[in-house]
Amino acid sequence: MLELVVDNPYTLDVAVRRPLAESGEVDRALGAARAAARAFAAAAVKDRVALCLAAVSRMEERAEAIAADITAMMGKPLRQARGEVGGMAKRARYMASIAEAALVDTALPPQEGFERRITRAPLGVVFNLPAWNYPLLTAVNVVIPAVLAGNAVILKHSPRSPLCGEHFADALRDAGAPAGLVQALHCDHEMAGKIMVDPRVDHVAFTGSVAGGHKVYAQTAAARFIDVGLELGGKDAAYVAADADLEKAIENIVDGACYNAGQSCCAVERAYVHRSLYEKFVEGCVALMKAYRMGDPTAAETNMGPIAQPHHPAFIQGQIDRAVLAGARVVLGGKRTQVDGRGRFFEPTVLVDVDQRMDVMRTETFGPVLPILPVDSDEQAVALANDSDLGLTASIWTRDRERAERLARQLDVGTVYMNQCDTLDPALPWTGVKDSGKGSTLSALGFLHLTRPRALNFKL
């Protein structure tokens, strides 16, 4: 039997072992999901809401164990992992609070002798493939809204964070979900590909890399006329305008670059700073990033954990080395490292003398690296921010509300922030443009991708 083995990125010991599902187990899971979806579609929305809220409460009761699993599997500092449990619950409760209004029938104006309505029908079975970097948040964006909309879910979590899929399935089962409604499967890429094109699957939702998203979309679309939701990478830009509150900009942009060791799709990966503030901005970023404490992610004083994936420190190092060869200068960090001989870490890094052609300015880094480039105008900043194949978020740092509004309309991204970054509001759709994704999750709009319109045209 093939086995999934996950190492602890700090101790490098084995954190998790799980058998990989074989074809018979997958077939049974798909059959159970299809049967559960047919039955659950008839459940009242208020009953689906009650089920999801009960499941969230059960996950909160197990918060310490869930957080410990996250830390062991992907290295997130334990206090941040605890925060992720709370963030997951907040998102789930918000989506539950709007479900009835978002899924209500739309009645059309009266027409003599006819009744016309548009209903939102569940899709059926949703195959969800979340990411490891925020293993609860990337999963809850799909799992809870899918169930609220009346669907069944097969949850194949990232091979870096398999236990998080089990936690969702266990919580929903213990909350009273019908058998087969939400199931966790551990399988390899080949088996996942077979599930995506199985006729019993009605929607695929993938969170991960751009390359992975292209493969998922191409494989599914080649065989099926079903929707594929993609939440992919970012190369998110921050623009610090001449009138910005510099201290707040530095504090938040550094956090946006370094939180979760930079392993976030909406991390700040490029900073464009008005030339009048550039030197002070660089100095401030260096001072703050020097204070980060790498180390044991279970220790209270650690605020930067290890890099989760074994191959990735070398990737980050390669980006920086190529930038230096092309003329960039490292003013802080710049090296993969260990702490007391343990783990796989990357130093918080500040790069200057960068230019837009460098790989570190164009390709997602997914590490605690902040390249900083001076600009002379709003127009130059917008042009550089848009000069990317990715378009997830961008942030504008200014005291001028009208300037932010004007620039926001010019930025080719899914979310524009003013005086904040690397955050998410479940009342707003989470969506990307260009190679950052397809479709949207969260908000009332998120339900549109997990249901289909059904027209009712009754002649009375």
| Domain CATH code at residue 111 | 3.40.605.10
Q: In degrees rounded to 5, what are phi and psi of residue 272?
A: -110, 120
Instruction: Tell me, yes or no, whether 118 and 252 share the same domain.
Output: no
Instruction: Tell me, yes or no, whether 269 and 397 share the same domain.
Output: yes
pLDDT category at 1 given cuts 50, 70, 90 is: confident
Closest among 191, 223, 176, 199 to 33, alpha carbons compared: 199
- The reply to whether 270 falls in a domain is yes
pLDDT tens string 236-267: 999 999 999 999 999 999 999 999 999 999 99
The SS3 of residue 7 is strand
- The reply to whether 304 falls in a domain is yes
**Do residues 302 and 293 touch, judged by C-beta distance below 8 A?**
yes
Instruction: Tell me, yes or no, whether 162 and 259 share the same domain.
Output: no
Closest among 361, 332, 443, 364 to 131, alpha carbons compared: 364
Closest among 129, 339, 378, 412 to 241, alpha carbons compared: 378
CB atoms within 10 A of CB 423: 14
Instruction: Tell me, yes or no, whether 444 and 413 share the same domain.
Output: no
Buried b or exposed e, range 234-269, using 16+ CB within 10 angstroms: bbbbbbbbbebebeebbebbbbbbbbbbbbbbbbbb
Separation of alpha carbons 330 and 281, rounded Å: 15
Q: Where are the alpha helices (DSSP H) in 326-427?
A: 378-386, 401-408
DSSP string across 27-94 = HHHHHHHHHHHHHHTTS-HHHHHHHHHHHHHHHHHTHHHHHHHHHHHH---HHHHHHHHHHHHHHHHH
Separation of alpha carbons 347 and 357, rounded Å: 23
- The reply to whether 173 falls in a domain is yes
The SS3 of residue 188 is coil
pLDDT tens string 213-230: 999 999 999 999 999 999
- The reply to whether 225 falls in a domain is yes
CB atoms within 10 A of CB 112: 5
The tally of domains found in the chain comes to 2
CA distances from 254 to 1, 111, 250 (A): 45, 59, 6
**Do residues 450 and 123 touch, judged by C-beta distance below 8 A?**
yes
- The reply to whether 430 falls in a domain is no
β-pairing, 433-434 vs 390-391, is antiparallel
Give me the active site residues, please: 231
Instruction: Tell me, yes or no, whether 211 and 267 share the same domain.
Output: no
Hey, which bits of 77-218 come out as E strands? 106-107, 114-122, 125-129, 152-155, 182-184, 203-207
Which residues, in sequence order, are bridge partners of residue 120? 453
Separation of alpha carbons 23 and 43, rounded Å: 31
- Cβ-based neighbours of 327, under 8 Å, separated by 6 or more: 353, 355
In this predicted structure, what is the pLDDT of residue 266? 98
Q: The domain containing residue 200 runs over which residues?
A: 3-232+436-459
**Do residues 261 and 337 touch, judged by C-beta distance below 8 A?**
no
Instruction: Tell me, yes or no, whether 286 and 404 share the same domain.
Output: yes
Model's pTM, two decimal places? 0.97
pLDDT category at 188 given cuts 50, 70, 90 is: very high
pLDDT tens string 104-133: 999 999 899 999 999 999 999 999 999 999
Instruction: Tell me, yes or no, whether 228 and 293 share the same domain.
Output: no
Return mean pLDDT, the chain.
98
| CATH at residue 287 | 3.40.309.10
Instruction: Tell me, yes or no, whether 257 and 317 share the same domain.
Output: yes
In this predicted structure, what is the pLDDT of residue 379? 99
Cα end-to-end span (Å), the chain: 61
Instruction: Tell me, yes or no, whether 210 and 315 share the same domain.
Output: no
Separation of alpha carbons 195 and 189, rounded Å: 10
pLDDT tens string 3-58: 999 999 999 999 999 999 999 999 999 999 999 999 999 999 999 999 999 999 99
- The reply to whether 431 falls in a domain is no
pLDDT tens string 87-109: 999 999 999 999 999 999 999 99
Instruction: Tell me, yes or no, whether 447 and 317 share the same domain.
Output: no
